[in-house]
């Protein structure tokens, strides 16, 4: 039911976009490709033991986009008596709609629905204290884990200078499915977050480069026509 709810919301937004632009000429020929990297994950990669790299791209068709993400995660949380490792890749793909197509700086507010999938593996080494028979070391691992989920995205891109933009994307991740695990349940799914959560929010902050390869006119905002009511003639 949740998936149906968000698909319905996307259809309503797409139809709204069609109504907004119906008085202007549509232009579905691509004019730009957007490349972006998540600076939050990049900071964690540089300043911590984690590796969280994520890249984003999309291409325009009129006020719509085909968007795609690719990322790599590697974590190694440790604690008293245990050592956990996990690494893997993920991707997302889906449509976005620009809800602010008339901005002269080509800044945008967008909404999208995406399908995501992750492939990864993990391992844990656990030390059991001596209980009279000597200390024991337990090892559990998963070699071929896969997960898939859906996302509802809402974001904004703002022009800074020339082709450089800054932006953020808020994500609601839902309808997660995990397969391939044995006795060890994964701690974290690359691109998704904590594996034991059925739905959760995510956030990305991007540095964006727009590669424009043709001059696409910015559509004019349609004018609203207000019909005047005829006033009664007092002479009658």
Question: What domains can you pick out in the chain, each with its CATH number?
Answer: 2-24+34-212 (2.40.160)
Residue 16 confidence class, pLDDT cut points 50, 70, 90: low
Residue 221: what pLDDT?
Answer: 80
Q: What value does the mean pLDDT take over residues 181-201?
A: 94
Choice between 219 and 73, residue whose per-residue pLDDT is larger: 73
Residue 219: what pLDDT?
Answer: 85
**Mean pLDDT estimate for the chain:** 87
Residue 231: what pLDDT?
Answer: 61
Q: Which two tokens mark 67?
A: 């968007």
119 has pLDDT over 60:
yes
State how far the Cα of 54 lies from the Cα of 44, in Å rounded to an integer.
11
Residue 53: what pLDDT?
Answer: 97
Residue 12: what pLDDT?
Answer: 57
153 Cβ neighbours under 8 A, 6+ residues apart: 94, 96, 110, 111, 112, 113, 114, 169, 170, 171
Residue 72: what pLDDT?
Answer: 98
Residue 161 confidence class, pLDDT cut points 50, 70, 90: very high
155 has pLDDT over 70:
yes
pLDDT digits (tens, 9 = 90+) for 27-59: 899 999 999 999 999 999 999 999 999 999 999
For 153-191, the DSSP string reads EEEEEEEEETTEEEEEEEEEEEEEEEES--SSPPSEETT
pLDDT digits (tens, 9 = 90+) for 56-73: 999 999 999 999 999 999
Residue 119: how many CA atoms within 13 Å on its side-chain side? 3
The whole model's pTM is what? 0.82
Residue 229: what pLDDT?
Answer: 60
Residue 25: what pLDDT?
Answer: 78
209 within 8 A of 33, measured Cβ to Cβ: no
């Amino acid at each position: 039911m949740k998936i149906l709810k968000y698909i319905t919301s996307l259809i309503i937004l797409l139809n709204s976009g069609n109504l907004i632009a119906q008085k202007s000429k549509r232009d579905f020929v691509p004019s730009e490709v957007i490349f972006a990297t998540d600076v939050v994950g990049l900071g964690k990669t540089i300043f911590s033991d984690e590796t969280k790299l994520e890249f984003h791209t999309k291409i325009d068709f009129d006020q719509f986009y085909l968007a795609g993400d690719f990322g790599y995660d590697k974590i190694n949380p440790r604690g008293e008596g245990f050592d956990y490792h996990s690494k893997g890749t993920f991707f997302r793909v889906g449509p976005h709609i620009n809800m602010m197509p008339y901005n002269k700086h080509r800044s945008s507010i967008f909404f999208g629905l995406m399908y995501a999938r992750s492939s990864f593996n993990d391992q844990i080494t656990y030390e059991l204290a001596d209980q009279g028979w000597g200390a024991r070391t337990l090892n559990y691992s998963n070699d071929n884990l896969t997960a898939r989920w859906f996302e509802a995205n809402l974001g904004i891109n703002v022009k800074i200078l020339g082709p450089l933009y800054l932006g953020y994307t808020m994500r609601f991740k839902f309808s997660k499915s995990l397969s391939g695990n044995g006795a060890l349940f994964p701690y974290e799914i690359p691109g998704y977050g904590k594996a034991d959560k059925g739905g959760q929010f995510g956030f990305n902050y991007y540095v964006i480069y727009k590669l424009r390869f043709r001059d696409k006119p910015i559509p004019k905002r349609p004018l609203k026509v207000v019909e005047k009511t005829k006033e009664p003639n007092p002479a009658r």
